[in-house]
Chains A and B, each alone.
Chain A
Amino acid sequence: QKEVEQDPGPLSVPEGAIVSLNCTYSNSAFQYFMWYRQYSRKGPELLMYTYSSGNKEDGRFTAQVDKSSKYISLFIRDSQPSDSATYLCAMSYLSGNTPLVFGKGTRLSVIA
């Protein structure tokens, strides 16, 4: 079993839809949870991060972490064609300068 599981999609939604992206993980030691957006042939761009369980909101984006279920989500409200990209979840055990464990990424297409 991989440490982090993420459905690669592709996921196609109409403009304005609410998008739900999810990851599950196996190691309960993960404490820091990040979401990255990656456009084709580019490096990942940090969207937001969450520490431990709970919700965090930033504009149209909401990140949720449920440590009891080892399940994290990213919601995108009022999705736009410019949101079309691959979304990667990433996790870490420690707060310091440590490498991240990534999911495969979910390819999202928002259709105008």
Chain B
Amino acid sequence: GAVVSQHPSWVICKSGTSVKIECRSLDFQATTMFWYRQFPKQSLMLMATSNEGSKATYEQGVEKDKFLINHASLTLSTLTVTSAHPEDSSFYICSASPQGLVTEAFFGQGTRLTVV
């Protein structure tokens, strides 16, 4: 089946630094990718919709200047957490759909970010 690869799987960074997370569709092109965040024992919450060649669409309450999204190619979207703080520590997951169908959404492995 389709594969979505996310890197890194975990990262620890110091408060105030920036972290980049990559999401790649390995065997299909994805004009749209979604970024979610999951806190412990909580559901996945949509952060933003990443659109190839255009600006990302952010959900209410998500700071676009803090969570920079770049979808520079049809197979790669990146999420950069800028000036990270401990409250940004979470599990970040991306998803993409090979045929553009909601019933075929594949998820990356997730990235566990810990800000110390």
Contact = CB atoms under 8 A, between A and B. Distances in A.
Interface residues of B, number: 31
A44 B107 contact: yes
A37 B91 CA distance: 16
Contacts of B46: 99-101
A98 B57 CA distance: 12
Interface string A21-54: 0000000000010101000011111100101000
A103 B42 CA distance: 8
B100 A34 contact: no
Q: How large is the interface on A (under 10, 10 to 19, 20 to 34, 35 or more residues)?
A: 20 to 34
Given A43-B108, A46-B106, A99 B34 contact: yes
B75 interface: no
B50 to A, nearest CB: 11
Contacts of B108: 43
Contact of A88 (B9, B10, B43, B97): B43
Interface of A: 4, 6, 8, 32, 34, 36, 41-46, 49, 51, 88, 92, 94-105
18 contacts: A6-B43, A34-B102, A41-B9, A43-B4, A43-B93, A45-B107, A46-B104, A46-B105, A51-B103, A95-B101, A96-B101, A97-B31, A98-B102, A99-B36, A99-B49, A100-B34, A100-B46, A102-B44
